[in-house]
Structure 1
Amino acid sequence: MSFEQLRLIEPVLKALKEEGYSEPTPIQQQSIPYVLDKRDLLGCAQTGTGKTAAFAIPLLQLLAETTPAVQKGPRPIRALILTPTRELAIQIQESLQAYGKHLPLKHQVIFGGVSQVPQVEALRRGVDILVATPGRLLDLISQNIVTLRDIKFFVLDEADRMLDMGFVHDVQRVIIKLPENRQTLFFSATMPPEIQKLAAMILRNPAKVEVTPVSSTADTITQSVYYVKKQDKRHLLQHILKDDAIKTLLVFARTKHGADRVVKDLVRVGITAEAIHGNKSQNARQRALSNFKTRQTRVLVATDIAARGIDIDDLTHVVNFELPNVPETYVHRIGRTGRAGANGIAISFCEEEEKPFLKDILKLINREIPVVKDQPFHDALVGMEAVKVPMPQNRPKKKAQGGGGGFHRNRQGHVNAPKKHKPKPQQAVK
């Protein structure tokens, strides 16, 4: 299917072509027609599936088709996109700019952590689409700078992330201020009971679209596990980075302090690295992300604030320096690579105390992950008792096959294997 078959107007098609997009992703194929038909939408899709464009493209078209030729006074806000993090808000704004470059629409992003003055000045000039995080939006509403009385379209993005970050009550406060006569688009990577309840509250007879459930990992991502002692993790990371093929590497740590420590260790041995987490100022976080995207910085070390919503082109490698204690977070983390059909490599370090986390991850994704033994810091004691995928009762176990879980046999995470001889056989985590 092509974008032309989705009833898109010429200015949008022209922008998509200029951005190099010719075919919509599955969620775009399914969502865009519903949105153009002015249906409420419940979308279940993880990042990397193209969901931002799934709501941004039809939203731009609907607004363009209803924009008056002559506007008296400042433009009223007609569309609100609510998102949990500043980084994601900025990326949505960039997407609107790219897809709507040939449309007479104005959009503005607002978020906390920076001065509100430039944001307020833009709002007073008038905007059609407002992209906002909950805190700053409610703050500006309380100052009578923002009104939501003219909203015709409301997008709630990353709803489950809102729940994780404690923003559900803020979201509910925003919803109360919205007109009842509106079109609502609701997106979430997972659908826990609280999110299902929220969706039922704000959606009216919604069309439902589900693409790539959170429990699955993309087949384009080659996953591997390295058993290692806790104290050797930093040495193992430095060893992996000896591979010149790794131009950029996104590393995940569980804590802010841990992320800073990883950066300090890398910089000490001459590897350019920066951290991005909640204790960093907004300017520092944006600078670090920009340096990473332009390859001025080779390694970006992040806490889970960056697990979703940060879109980095051509990112080939992700390392879980510490395994997450929430298995769904693993899927979101490694989903930063292997996007849009590209290949990616996800490496996870596992020490003894993290084996229960690994077991939960395997249960969620229901597939094997190869263990790389051919590395100088392999801890045989950690790997002595194999972590197995829990299998349903009364169901015969499937025999593990070569690459495990359908991985390419010639790409099993050997990013640091000696090139002069074949790597040793791997043991699959079952």
Structure 2
Amino acid sequence: MRDTIKNEFSKMYGIGDDIGRALDVLGYNQPLAVQDRVMPHILEGKDLIVQSQTGSGKTAAFGIPIAEKLEMDENLPQVLVLTPTRELAVQVCEEIASIGRYKKIRCLPIYGKQPIHIQLRQLKQRVHVVVGTPGRLGDLIKRKHLVLEQIKYLVIDEADEMLKRGFLEDVEAIIKRIPKERTTLLFSATMPPEIEFICSEHMMNPLRIEMASTQAPIDQIKQVWYEVSDDWKFMLLTKLMEELKPRSCLIFCNTRIKADQLVQKLIKGKYDCMALHGGMAQKDRLRAISTFKDGEVTYLIATDLAARGIHVDSLDLVVNYNVPMDNENYVHRIGRTGRVGEEGRAITFVSTHDQRKWDEIQTFIGYKVPLEDEKILQQKAISKRTGASTKPKSKREKKDQLHKDITRLRINAGKKKKMRAGDVLGAISNLPGLTSEDIGIIDIQDSCTYVEIFNHKGQLVEEGLSKVKVKGRDVKIKKVK
């Protein structure tokens, strides 16, 4: 297997075949700057303080070496990752799960507003990595549902955002319950005094790594603005969409109502888009983020608060449909484009009543944004967009590639019939042409069991189990998505 693995991670850092195989499929060919600086030290078990912008590749920077070091036979969680938002918890969990797919790493996201009984059921099974927000994690720890005695890695992600959201006390309370013999990794874009205090109190001789920003400086993002009345904004937006043809575009509105209204207009115009705002149910917000990040829709229409937890690679365009009410929000909005060395583009629509606020924003950023004439919009040569003959693979396509040789089967027996993972593993391993290497994660629920089958052998298992007994009984097998 080693000779067939193509990515540089395996060669440079001695990453095992199971992780290396997943990295190949996911397109992780060479390490990004933060990964190259961070990974060797994590593999050596050192505490790290990493100052790095979002969107720099830091999740893989800690996810790959931690996945490599995990002990698969340990029943209790070995890794705890703290994140400031539910959206980020899901994102980090998905990435680590994808990296550890062939090693059979189980990763569980935990956050508020998700039914707690689902989390409790999953925690009763073997879980290697827990990723979550401080509030819900702290609650489960206090109730002794989440046992921390085997935690070997603590990751505090986006520590400065944790501070802004008032989670620091919760974070410290959790840290105090974790074994002192551990590796602690703290990632933060900035280092306020409160974060420095946590580092000094709870880390052992940490190594500091400061990364140069991968985000283009604000005056290097291609910014323009249009003077346009509210009534003509939609028409101008559709003209820009047709001219620029972005692969991914984040459009900001100031209120939930305006976001929903714009989505409805775009849907009528046959544009693929979704809304994202605080008035949506949590599951709908997570679905919108996932769909946009995976490249399934081109346009995401969002409010500032809801978009705080989104980290999107290769975001072509940011449109301020409404001028932001806060100066710093303008910086946050347009800073989402132009990451990881790519050129960014930001467009702002300014109506007459917004002019004073727009002047204030330009003074705040210290940059006079060029005014674009709508009349010459059609004449602009945008060869970088129109000349592209192929669209790069989206994250969804990469995930599909990862899962193409994995079949998920449902067995109609679970905990209520005293089904155990060993029963399923033994039954499948005994089938002709099958070994334990072909079996992925086994998830035993109350009334059924789900099992992943690798190497295109799903059909073989489905047919084989239908002819034998599992734990002394006949079972029904069904392929699921």
**TM-score scaled by length of structure 1:** 0.76
CA distance in 2, matches of 1:336, 1:236: 22
Structure 1's 330 and 216: CA in aligned 2 closer, same or farther, altered over 3 A?
Answer: farther
CA distance in 2, matches of 1:213, 1:327: 21
After superposition, give the CA deviation of every residue in 1:14-42 in whole Å (9 maximum; x if it has no partner). 22122112211111111111111211111
Instruction: Indicate yes or no: 2:6 matched with 1:6.
Output: no
Please name the residue that 2:259 is paired with.
259
CA distance in 1, matches of 2:242, 2:304: 26
CA distance in 2, matches of 1:197, 1:254: 36
Map of 1:268-347 to 2, 5 A cutoff?
A: 271-293=271-293, 297-305=297-305, 307=307, 309-312=309-312, 314-324=314-324, 329-347=329-347
Letter in 1 for 2:187: F
Please name the residue that 1:418 is paired with.
378
CA distance in 2, matches of 1:421, 1:109: 45
Letter in 2 for 1:142: K
CA distance in 2, matches of 1:302, 1:197: 35
**Residue aligned with 1:146, SS:** coil
Structure 1's 126 and 268: CA in aligned 2 closer, same or farther, altered over 3 A?
Answer: same
Write 1 or 2 for the structure with the bigger share of helix.
2
CA distance in 2, matches of 1:120, 1:356: 50
Please name the residue that 2:89 is paired with.
89
CA distance in 2, matches of 1:163, 1:325: 23
Contact 2:278–2:306 at 8 Å: present in 1 too? no
Contact 1:91–1:309 at 8 Å: present in 2 too? no
Aligned-pair identity in percent equals 37
Please name the residue that 1:358 is paired with.
362
Map of 1:42-191 to 2, 5 A cutoff?
A: 42-63=49-70, 67=71, 75-191=75-191
Query: How far has the Cα of 1:290 moved from its partner?
Result: 4.1
**Residue aligned with 1:145, SS:** coil
Query: How far has the Cα of 1:233 moved from its partner?
Result: 4.5
Contact 1:249–1:298 at 8 Å: present in 2 too? yes
CA distance in 1, matches of 2:194, 2:232: 40
Please name the residue that 1:205 is paired with.
205
**Residue aligned with 2:46, SS:** coil
**TM-score scaled by length of structure 2:** 0.68
Query: How far has the Cα of 1:119 moved from its partner?
Result: 2.0
**Residue aligned with 1:354, SS:** helix
Contact 1:307–1:329 at 8 Å: present in 2 too? no
Query: How far has the Cα of 1:129 moved from its partner?
Result: 0.9
CA distance in 2, matches of 1:94, 1:284: 17
CA distance in 2, matches of 1:261, 1:310: 22
Query: How far has the Cα of 1:297 moved from its partner?
Result: 4.2
Query: How far has the Cα of 1:267 moved from its partner?
Result: 4.5
Contact 2:56–2:214 at 8 Å: present in 1 too? no
Higher mean alpha-carbon deviation, 107-116 vs 187-196, is at 187-196
Letter in 2 for 1:374: D
Structure 1's 8 and 306: CA in aligned 2 closer, same or farther, altered over 3 A?
Answer: farther
Letter in 2 for 1:237: L
Contact 1:16–1:99 at 8 Å: present in 2 too? yes
**Structure 1 residue ranges (4+ consecutive) displaced by more than 6 angstroms after TM superposition:** none
Query: How far has the Cα of 1:306 moved from its partner?
Result: 5.2
**Residue aligned with 1:187, SS:** strand
Contact 1:46–1:213 at 8 Å: present in 2 too? yes
Higher mean alpha-carbon deviation, 148-157 vs 218-227, is at 218-227
Aligned residues: 371
Structure 1's 155 and 331: CA in aligned 2 closer, same or farther, altered over 3 A?
Answer: farther
Query: How far has the Cα of 1:301 moved from its partner?
Result: 1.4
CA distance in 2, matches of 1:128, 1:207: 26
Contact 1:323–1:358 at 8 Å: present in 2 too? no
Contact 2:216–2:344 at 8 Å: present in 1 too? no
Structure 1's 264 and 151: CA in aligned 2 closer, same or farther, altered over 3 A?
Answer: same
Query: How far has the Cα of 1:336 moved from its partner?
Result: 3.4
Query: How far has the Cα of 1:154 moved from its partner?
Result: 0.4
Contact 2:97–2:105 at 8 Å: present in 1 too? no
Structure 1's 301 and 42: CA in aligned 2 closer, same or farther, altered over 3 A?
Answer: same
Contact 1:291–1:297 at 8 Å: present in 2 too? yes
- Report the RMSD for the aligned CA atoms in angstroms: 3.1
Contact 2:224–2:372 at 8 Å: present in 1 too? no
Query: How far has the Cα of 1:163 moved from its partner?
Result: 1.9
CA distance in 1, matches of 2:13, 2:330: 34
Letter in 2 for 1:418: Q
Contact 2:362–2:368 at 8 Å: present in 1 too? no
CA distance in 1, matches of 2:331, 2:124: 41
CA distance in 2, matches of 1:421, 1:263: 28
Contact 2:216–2:339 at 8 Å: present in 1 too? no
Letter in 2 for 1:164: K
Structure 1's 419 and 262: CA in aligned 2 closer, same or farther, altered over 3 A?
Answer: same
CA distance in 2, matches of 1:213, 1:371: 24
**Residue aligned with 1:103, SS:** coil
Please name the residue that 1:373 is paired with.
372
Question: Can you give the 5+ residue segments of structure 1 that lack an aligned partner in the other structure?
Answer: 377-415, 423-430
CA distance in 2, matches of 1:76, 1:227: 58
Query: How far has the Cα of 1:250 moved from its partner?
Result: 0.9
Question: Can you give the 5+ residue segments of structure 2 that lack an aligned partner in the other structure?
Answer: 1-6, 383-481
Structure 1's 42 and 281: CA in aligned 2 closer, same or farther, altered over 3 A?
Answer: same
